[in-house]
Amino acid sequence: MAIATINPATGETIKTFEPLKDVEIAAKLDLAGQAFEQYRRTNFSQRSHWLQKAAEILEQEKADFAKLMTLEMGKPFKAAIAEVEKCALVCRYYAEHAPSFLADVPVKTDASHSVVRYQPLGVILAVMPWNFPFWQVFRFAAPTLMAGNVGLLKHASNVPQCALAIEDILQRAGFPQGVFQTLLIGAAKVADLMADDRVKAATLTGSEPAGASLAAVSGKQLKKTVLELGGSDPFIVLASADIEAAVATATTARMLNNGQSCIAAKRFIVEDAIADKFEKLLLEKFAALKVGDPMQPDTNIGPLATPDILQELDQQVQNAVKTGGKVLIGGHPLAGRPGNFYPPTIIIDIPIDTPIAREEFFGPVALLFRIPDIDAAIKLANDTPFGLGASAWTTNDQERDRLIEEIEAGAVFINDMVKSDPRLPFGGIKRSGYGRELSIQGLHEFVNVKSVWVK
């Protein structure tokens, strides 16, 4: 894939970039290795100051960064603004909390003195996706840099200007040269990077195949990975739920980022007793959404990121129809206009035992299933290879406790949409990946947890 900015709303190629040559990659690896030897000796106060400065730059220039995201991958401008603000939040969170999260932990033993100490590993490679081009990187960079590691970013090839902007932000914030570098390279170069002794570990957010590929090459090198992969997140609505609130949140949860989010609600599992009302209200909400220029403030749904994503999504919709599904609204790419636009779509009556019912739809398409009771809801929610997040709606305490306990996912949100929060660990199980980002657990993924015993 070419490394280029191609406006998904128009199809226009804005800017292209030459991938780094092998000698240039080698030079950046040298610089990263040298930078680590010095940077690991900086103190928390210095790192916190630089990270706070990065937060200030993000906030002061958020409109510019948001425009860049919208230009490169098509998210609505107002959503891009919110993404930049969230990046500033995660910087401030780790600037404040990392020193205590990484402090020595005394352990009472028969030694005179024993502690658990957290130390940096070295150069960490981040393979990041296009759908949240700033947030995904900063939620890696903030804890990684506070731990004393240095970062190499291999970003998605359709958001190169975002990738370069992030490196520039961290440099302007004061982080020493080489501590965070962007590598404009294709996916084929990742295996060589993982084979380099200076790269100690890697994190990837992206597709199942991409995660499996990185895990394979990392396993060969015996290097740790954290993987945050796909999801086919259930959104369960039981009869006791506040239906109006559930429908309003369901619309937001499905259309987040033009529907291109791993934790977007994708399978709506609704109890029969309230299914007719839920379907009617959801249809009204979807019909009211405005599809169009993502730079306009009243636009709800912008274009999908690439023509390939548009084509793949439409093929899934047509496959769902072939298996018996019925389209209530949408169902085909918007014709007669440039760009990768797909309208809000609802599909009902898909047989639950077909493969398409378990797949991830990466776009503004909702699959609506009716079930008789909570037992069937939990069974259907778990009947997928993924296990990232789940949203469930009920006002019954016993139902709530069952949903929390029995749903197979890295996160369960009751009466709210699934979202990431710096204060809580984020990640999945099954084929949604392993390891955690954010909170103290995410910070501890890329450190040497060292036992110290003094007698």
Cite the active site residues: 228, 262
CA torsion angle 218 222 227 229 (round to 10):
50
Buried (b) or exposed (e) across 46-67, using 16+ Cβ within 10 A? ebbebbbbbbebbbeebeebbe
- Residue pair 370/272 in contact (Cβ under 8 Å)? The answer is yes
| Angstrom distance (rounded) from CA 137 to CA 132 | 8
What is residue 129's three-state secondary structure? coil
Q: What is the DSSP string of 56-124?
A: HHHHHTHHHHHHHHHHHH---HHHHHHHHHHHHHHHHHHHHHHHHHTS-EE--SSSSEEEEEEEE-SEE
- Residue pair 168/191 in contact (Cβ under 8 Å)? The answer is no
Locate 236 and state its tokens. 């369960």
- Residue pair 430/408 in contact (Cβ under 8 Å)? The answer is yes
- Tell me how many degrees the CA angle 241-247-251 measures, rounded to the nearest 5: 145
